[in-house]
């Protein structure tokens, strides 16, 4: 804990000298969720400062949207409320429509959006988001795009599997989990969900 606190103090000194030091702000934001005493609210607040600073500096739109995606991810990892989930959906919708289709950002944003809809019990919208993300991932593979992220692709299959299992569609769930593991054999959640499907069909992990 002292290590993170010391690092944050050093970074804050850097920001005092350069109020637009978005990289230092980013490090501070991430430190709040990497330490044992996670503070998601402070992490989100600092990530918003990163976004505002990046915009004011006129950084490449893709970088700004990537920080927006990081913010969405942090929100999803804190205590989920209806308001925070709607915030994620709105943010992801903007990212998906504004980002160049070949940025990695839309690939992860479809996942974030699907998870948010899932926790709001909007199953069809969640399924649509996961499938859209999978479609984009497959297209990126076919086009050999360097922005493609195999871990995001695998996670999308796991998320789809959880959704199908939750609504009682166990056969499609098994197919989705196996697809996730074909892409990434180290996907712990997909491996666990597949192994436990017949034992605890009510408790998959997204």
Report d(CA 96, CA 118) in Å as an integer: 18
Question: Angle, to 10 degrees, between the axis of helix 150-166 and the axis of helix 104-119?
Answer: 20
Q: Quick one: pLDDT at residue 205?
A: 67
- More confident of the two residues 42 and 4: 42
pTM: 0.83
* Model confidence at 1: pLDDT above 90: no
Name 8's Cβ contacts closer than 8 Å, sequence gap at least 6: 28, 31
pLDDT digits (tens, 9 = 90+) for 162-201: 999 999 999 999 999 999 999 999 999 999 999 988 676 5
């Amino acid at each position: 804990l002292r290590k993170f606190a010391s690092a944050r103090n050093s970074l804050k000194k850097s920001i005092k000298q350069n109020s637009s030091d978005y990289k230092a702000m980013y490090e501070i934001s991430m430190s709040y969720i990497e330490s044992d005493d996670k503070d998601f609210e402070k992490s989100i607040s600092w990530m918003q400062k990163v976004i505002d600073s990046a915009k004011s500096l006129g950084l490449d739109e893709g970088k700004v949207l990537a920080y927006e995606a990081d913010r969405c991810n942090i929100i999803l990892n804190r205590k989920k409320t209806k308001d925070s989930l709607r915030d994620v959906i709105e943010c992801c919708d903007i990212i998906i429509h504004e980002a160049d289709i070949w940025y990695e950002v839309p690939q992860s944003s479809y996942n974030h959006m699907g998870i948010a809809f899932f926790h709001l019990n909007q199953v069809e919208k969640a399924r649509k988001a996961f499938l859209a993300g999978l479609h984009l991932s497959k297209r990126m593979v076919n086009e050999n795009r360097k922005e493609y992220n195999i871990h995001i692709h695998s996670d999308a299959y796991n998320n789809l599997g959880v959704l199908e299992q939750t609504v009682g569609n166990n056969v499609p769930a098994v197919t989705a989990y196996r697809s996730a593991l074909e892409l990434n054999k180290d996907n712990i959640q997909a491996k666990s969900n597949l192994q436990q499907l017949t034992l605890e069909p009510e408790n998959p992990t997204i």
